[in-house]
Amino acid sequence: MKFPKCDETPLGLYPIVDRAHKLKPLYEAGVTTAQLRVKDMEGEVLKAEIKKAIELSKAYNVRFFLNDYWQLAIKYGAYGVHLGQEDIQEADIEAIYHAGLRLGISSHTPKEIEIALGFEPSYLAIGPIFEPISKKMAYENVGIENLKRWSAYVDYPIVAIGGITLKNIQQVVQSGAASGIAMISAVLNEDGEVSKVQTIALIEAIKEAQ
């Protein structure tokens, strides 16, 4: 089975946030792809947060991916779900496919890319490209050259992630390897809230480098 495409438009700036309310300023700034990754909620509170995020994303016609909680992504009609390498071994991939969701999969090495491609996803995330800002990774940095080398063997959209900022985003864009560029810390202010100014600057930097 082959998962649906994300449409022909590049994924572009792809912010990952931990709360639904952070999506609105991103969408107002022009973001067209986003992900909600919640690690500190459960039960009804988690369900309400996810439902809010999906409804908001539909209102703005944004390609919204939910991290991990594929059952809730199906239940509330998310655009897609994003899974890590361990998650894809445990999730009901057929249920996700038959629900019509898109699927994004994380990968950090050529071996993980090979595993991910076996699921025929909608996109493949590769990283960390540079030293991550938000968390310490157990994997070595991929770097621009490996990003180009690995993506050359992949016939799916690539999302580059890890340590990408306004200072180095143009290197990633000019590599020609990535359809999307995932960001966590780079779209946030010091208080952890979304900065529209920074988000717009990142979108403009992508356009300038294309």
- Please indicate, yes or no, if residue 5 is contained in any of the structural domains: no
What CATH number does the domain containing 110 carry? 3.20.20.70
> CB count, 10 Å around CB of 130?
20
- Please indicate, yes or no, if residue 125 is contained in any of the structural domains: yes
pTM for the whole thing? 0.96
| Domain tally, the chain | 1
| C-alpha–C-alpha distance, residues 14 and 20, integer Å | 15
* 131 — pLDDT class (breaks 50, 70, 90): confident
Enumerate the β-bridge partners of residue 188.
194
| C-alpha–C-alpha distance, residues 177 and 83, integer Å | 21
- Please indicate, yes or no, if residue 7 is contained in any of the structural domains: no
* 135 — pLDDT class (breaks 50, 70, 90): low
**pLDDT given at position 127:** 95
- Please indicate, yes or no, if residue 162 is contained in any of the structural domains: yes
**pLDDT given at position 183:** 94
- Segments forming the whole domain that contains residue 90: 12-209
| Residue pointed to by tokens 């990968």 | 107
- Please indicate, yes or no, if residue 195 is contained in any of the structural domains: yes
- Please indicate, yes or no, if residue 3 is contained in any of the structural domains: no
- Please indicate, yes or no, if residue 1 is contained in any of the structural domains: no
- Kindly state the tokens that stand for 108: 């950090």
Q: Shortest CA distance to 77 belongs to which of 49, 93, 62, 58?
A: 58
- Please indicate, yes or no, if residue 2 is contained in any of the structural domains: no
Amino acid in position 164: I
* 147 — pLDDT class (breaks 50, 70, 90): very high
Phi/psi for 208 (5° steps) reads -65, -35
**pLDDT given at position 113:** 96
